[in-house]
Amino acid sequence: MPEQHPGSRPTLEAVAARAGVSRATASRVVNGGDGVRKPLVDKVRRAVEELQYIPNHAARTLVTRRTGAVAVVIAEPEIRIFSDPFFSQQLRGISKELAAHDTQLVLLIVEGPADFDRIARYLSGGHVDGALAFSLHTDDPLPAITRRAGVPTVYGGRPSWTAGPGEQAVQYVDADNRGGARAAVQYLRGLGRERIAYIGGPPDQTSAMDRLDGYRDILLETDPTLVAEGAFTVESGARAMSELLERRPDLDAVFAANDLMASGALRVLRERGIAVPEQVAMVGFDDMDSVAEATDPPLTTVRQDIEGMGRLMARLLLRGLDRDRTGADRPDSVITPTTLVRRASA
Amino acid sequence: MPEQHPGSRPTLEAVAARAGVSRATASRVVNGGDGVRKPLVDKVRRAVEELQYIPNHAARTLVTRRTGAVAVVIAEPEIRIFSDPFFSQQLRGISKELAAHDTQLVLLIVEGPADFDRIARYLSGGHVDGALAFSLHTDDPLPAITRRAGVPTVYGGRPSWTAGPGEQAVQYVDADNRGGARAAVQYLRGLGRERIAYIGGPPDQTSAMDRLDGYRDILLETDPTLVAEGAFTVESGARAMSELLERRPDLDAVFAANDLMASGALRVLRERGIAVPEQVAMVGFDDMDSVAEATDPPLTTVRQDIEGMGRLMARLLLRGLDRDRTGADRPDSVITPTTLVRRASA
DNA sequence: CCGAACGATGGGAGCGCTCCCATTCGCATT
DNA sequence: AATGCGAATGGGAGCGCTCCCATCGTTCGG
């Protein structure tokens, strides 16, 4: 195969000449070949093959106004982002789905408030056809940015705001946080536990709130001394566990709003010589393989299909873009199911 | 601020008209304003502001042949990729550096051998100015692809092959794996340990081999019964530890080639009631915050600045692209230093 | 056997930008 | 005030592609 000399890539013109057809016909063949007679299609295909023709993306974008790329915006001020595999897994699902539709993934990582300017400029610049975003706090400027830029966006996780009147409904993909939490607490109750504590996530994240709601769904009159707030990190889980033990040394079960906090809590219990699950049963949330299986004892937890959620986000966005073109309605948001995975901690 | 009606974005032409100058002059101002007199510069700037002008990227790319984007290729057959924060951190460093140079990050995740075709097509398509890649195995097809596509590439981690005669030297950024390993083993020896075992990584990764070399540098006549092979995962670390204990119940220290394996090994030691660090001291490698601080006891380990390595990779690539344009030589590869972080496990 | 109707093909404009080159301008010099 | 020169500016071509529309060739019904 010949080395590509920079700047010498063959053009459609060259392909057309070689195949003995017009540029227009060559273009038709390259784009699917509808309405071109078989022998010509073959000739053009052969020419493409021989010349190693690859369409110039910039030229195509210039006229079609479609970029074939989607931005993935990861905006999260905390360092947490990347020490927890959550985003990575979702990203992977997204990547798979986009690749299957020949769409590129442009990654935008927001490192600080000043970065939003950069992101806004980029999204407004028409570099991408749509965007995928995560983990929004109530006052996140991103939704305003994408709306103003006119970039269709699908969110990962239920946003904390709802669309204003007349605005297109916000599209998102989320796990059934509330249902999963309910299942976890119900399971602990089924085990005969009576003083079930809850280690929650930051109240400005809807996933944390939804899980708390699920907890309350089962424990109708929730005892506030059994509820502690964490920040979805190992450390914060440990701290919350210490607090809880101080307030309620009699607790016999803990439901933590994610695996990382559960692992921190387990560490504290171990340090104090409290047997898990004999004295205190523990259930987490997420089922991150690198965490849930590695704890001591291995963690019973609520599994959500993170990669699947990523894939779904991409699918939703792509389908929406398609429908925009055909004039149909954008598809609805999706809630994916969760399942309880039994291991040794409860 | 006016909502952007799709397809109605102002063009340079409009800016020029509004400022009362030619398109050429407007273009000059937008691209830095060299050689344009101050009053005109101001007029154009104002017009840009008023019209909310954002240059059309596709049109610019079409003529300049520069995309302002860089591909990050993550090719790793194992599932491991995303359950270990290594890539994520490096990605973050890359992202920061690229953002600082207004360069976009296109993420290409290779999911299987069939994917290489897709990647090859993409890279050959002139969608990006350069590429960053990781974690190459000896028979990885990627180097051949990037070379054929004429895409300048910087690797993360020392590649296992070297450039052929007449070829441009391979550029990479790597931590001082060998030096770090040396420091770890030396430290264990300083602690008075005499039977220091080694849990290594897969032999087809240069980082694993370099660390083994460092181990051997200190323990000149290495006892093969003290060396076990893992796969950089928690599970494999646990397995290797079991093996070692069976072969050498008398070992008094372990150096694991990464933190994940060290954490698996610690688990096994704990299960067997072997005190760490009293009976067996443990040192890891990487200093991943989500792992090294969370183990029991917290892990003494060799720190490498992963994010910094990512940043360096991007810088190296961008500088190389720049030099290609000016005709200068591409910069050399870089080895970044490692440091030993003392915690409780040794 | 001829004309209408339809499907296949080609010509050409134009997407928004950069950059070459010709032109014009400002200014210093004589 | 005329001349020259370099710097500033504008005109225009062209990057590679798609898509509109005119043209051409076919096929079918009458």
Q: Is B161 helix (H, G, I), strand (E, B) or coil?
A: coil
Which is higher by pLDDT, B272 or A75? B272
pLDDT of residue A78: 47
Say whether B107 and A91 touch across the interface (CB within 8 A): yes
Which nucleotide is closest to the Cα of B36 by its C1'? D8
Mean pLDDT of B130-149: 83
Q: Which of B5, B9, B57 is the best residue to mutate to test the A interface, defined by the most A CB atoms within 10 Å of its own CB?
A: B57
Q: How far apart are CA A288 and CA A85, in angstroms?
A: 7
Which pLDDT score is estimated for B4? Answer: 42
CA of A46, closest CA in chain B: separation in Å?
A: 17
Q: Which residues contact B10 (CB under 8 A, 6 or more apart)?
A: B51, B52, B53
Contacting residues for A273 by C-beta, under 8 A, at least 6 apart:
none
Q: pLDDT value at position B77?
A: 54
A88 part of contact set with chain B, CB < 8 Å: yes
Residues of A in contact with B4 (CB under 8 A): 124, 148-150
For chain A, count helices (H), then strands (E): 14, 12
Low-confidence residues of chain A: pLDDT under 70: 1-7, 76-85, 135-136, 138
Q: How far is the CA of B20 from the C1' of D1 (A)?
A: 32
Within 8 A of A153 by CB-CB distance, chain B residues are: none
Cα separation of B96 and B87, whole Å? 14
Q: Which of residues 23-62 of B touch A (CB under 8 A)?
A: 52, 54-59, 61-62
Task: Point out the nucleotide closest to B25 (alpha carbon to C1′).
Answer: D9
CB–CB contact A85 B89 (8 Å): no
Q: Say yes or no for a CB contact (<8 Å) between B56 and A62.
A: yes
Spanning CA of A24 to C1' of C4, the rounded length in angstroms is 27
Q: Determine the pLDDT at residue B305.
A: 93
State whether A57 and B125 contact (CB < 8 Å).
Answer: yes
**Cβ pair A296:B267 closer than 8 A:** yes
Q: Please report which helix (H) or strand (E) contains residue A339, including its range.
A: strand A338-341
Per the omega criterion (within 30 degrees of 0), is the bond before B249 cis? Answer: no
What pLDDT, on a 0 to 100 scale, did the predictor assign at position B218?
95
Nearest-by-CA chain B residue for A112: B96
In this structure, is the CB of residue B13 within 7 Å of any atom belonging to strand C? yes
How far is residue B235's CA from residue B203's CA, in Å, rounded to a whole number? 17
Tens of pLDDT, residues B32-65: 888 888 888 999 999 999 999 999 999 999 999 9
Of B81, B82, B258, which to mutate for an interface test with A (greatest number of A Cβ within 10 Å)? B82
Residues of A in contact with B149 (CB under 8 A): 4
pLDDT of residue A90: 87
Answer with the residue of higher pLDDT: B169 or A196. Answer: A196
Angle at A344 between CA B286 and CA A301, to 5 degrees: 75
Q: What is the pLDDT of residues B307-343, one digit of tens each?
A: 999 999 999 999 999 887 777 777 889 999 999 999 9
Tens digits of residue pLDDT in A255-302: 999 998 999 999 899 989 999 999 999 999 999 877 788 788 999 999
Flag whether pLDDT at B135 surpasses 80.
no
- Higher pLDDT pick, B194 / A291: B194
Tokens 């939704």 identify what position? A143
Which residues 298-337 in chain B show a CB within 8 A of chain A?
Answer: none
φ, ψ at A115 (rounded to 5°): -70, -20
Which of A243, A275, A289, A250 has its CA nearest to residue A346? A275
Is there a contact between B105 and A106 if contact means CB atoms under 8 Å apart? yes
Q: Which positions in chain B touch A81 (Cβ < 8 Å)?
A: 88, 92
Q: What is the reported pLDDT for B76?
A: 64
Is B270 (CB) below 7 Å from strand D?
A: no
Q: What is the pLDDT of residues B199-252, one digit of tens each?
A: 999 998 899 999 999 999 999 888 999 999 999 888 899 999 999 999 999 999
How many CB atoms within 10 Å of residue A247? 16
pLDDT at A77: 54
The whole-angstrom distance between residue B340's C-alpha and the CA centroid of its chain comes to 20
The pLDDT of residue A1 is: 37
